[in-house]
Structure 1
Amino acid sequence: MNRILNFFLALVLLAGTSCASSSASNKTGSEAKIGTGKARVSEDLSVYRPKYETPDAGTTAARVEPTNHDNAQVAALMDTVVNVNRNIKYAQGYRILAYNGSERQTVMNLRKSIISRVPEVKDYLTYNQPNFRLMIGDFFNRVEAQQVLNQLSDLLPNAQIVQDKINIPKSY
């Protein structure tokens, strides 16, 4: 066993020394790279680069006008799309469910504190006997709803973001 190990170590040592880099004595000047054994080659490839003629400053190319240009038809179609979109009042979005319970005074106090904290966000209070449900905001994406929920996290520790049909504001 010891013999096989010695033989293996001698073989590894022999292979390691035989692969060592040769001296850089046969390389000259800037072509020799120290320690790697590879020569640095510099070539001039400008001969193979394509050459393009540049137009004179006085001459300009003729402007190409598009054919089948239907600006009037496209504008009419866009106007109909705008009118249809103006009639859309609702969209699928997100709201914050702030309260769902049967205590009227609790929901009214909570609503007042929310309005004082974030007055720009609209609230929706519904009563479905025997429960009051307080929803906050009309958010198109969950990130917007999460930002408002972070502002109200100390007031509403159990609030949730829920998907709901939202009102589209007039500014859109």
Structure 2
Amino acid sequence: MNNRILNLILSLLVLLSTACAPSAGKSTTTDTGKFPGKEKVTEDLSVYRPKYEAPETTTAARVEPTNHVNNKVAVLMDTVASVNKNFKYMQGYRILAYNGSQRQDVMNLRKSILTRVPEVKDYLTYQQPNFRLKIGDFSTRIEAQKVLNRVSDLIPNAQIVQDQINIDKSY
């Protein structure tokens, strides 16, 4: 048994000593000085780099475009703008603030939300026997999240839901 352990230890020593041996065939080596025993391998590969001549510095003349389409693009953009004026709704987001059957609770909640965020519009619907209170017309979920963060202490169970929203024509 001792003979097996001794053989195992000797084989590990041989393995470790060969693993730490420097590799043969490297080009030039220099000692780094910071870590004695560690060597830094350096090779000069500059002979393999391509060499290019520097271009002469000249001032190029400005080239004017020959086929302008500005007038055609302007007409198309006016057409698109006039078509878009007819749209009143789009897919967006609203905050579902209340969904329940207590009328007085929804009215109190509506009043407190409108005092906190007066710039958003509220939508109260009634489908027997439930009241639904949604607030805002947000085109992105991020806009809805900003308002939800402002009123989250009033309505901790509020959710952002996808809905058909009114398009703001004030711009």
- For the aligned pair, the TM-score class normalised by the smaller chain equals 0.7 to 0.9
CA-based RMSD? 2.9
The percentage of counterpart residues that share the same residue type is 59
Higher strand share: 2
Q: Which residue of 1 aligns with 2:16?
A: 16
Count of aligned pairs = 164
**1:60-103 CA-partner distances (Å, limit 9, x unpaired):** 22222334332211121112112222222111111111222333
Partners of 1:5 and 1:139 in 2: CA distance: 76
Letter in 2 for 1:10: L
Partners of 1:35 and 1:78 in 2: CA distance: 73
TM-score (norm 1): 0.77
Q: Which runs of 5+ in 1 are unaligned?
A: 23-27
Q: Which residue of 1 aligns with 2:88?
A: 89
- Cα 1:104–1:37 change in 2 (3 A) is closer
Q: Which runs of 5+ in 2 are unaligned?
A: 23-27
Matches within 5 A, 1:36-115: 36-41=38-43, 48-56=50-58, 60-115=59-114
1:5 is displaced (CA, Å) by: 3.0
1:8 is displaced (CA, Å) by: 2.4
**1:117-149 CA-partner distances (Å, limit 9, x unpaired):** 111111112233443321101112223222222
TM-score (norm 2): 0.77
1:41 is displaced (CA, Å) by: 4.4
CA contact (8 A) 1:21 1:36 kept: no
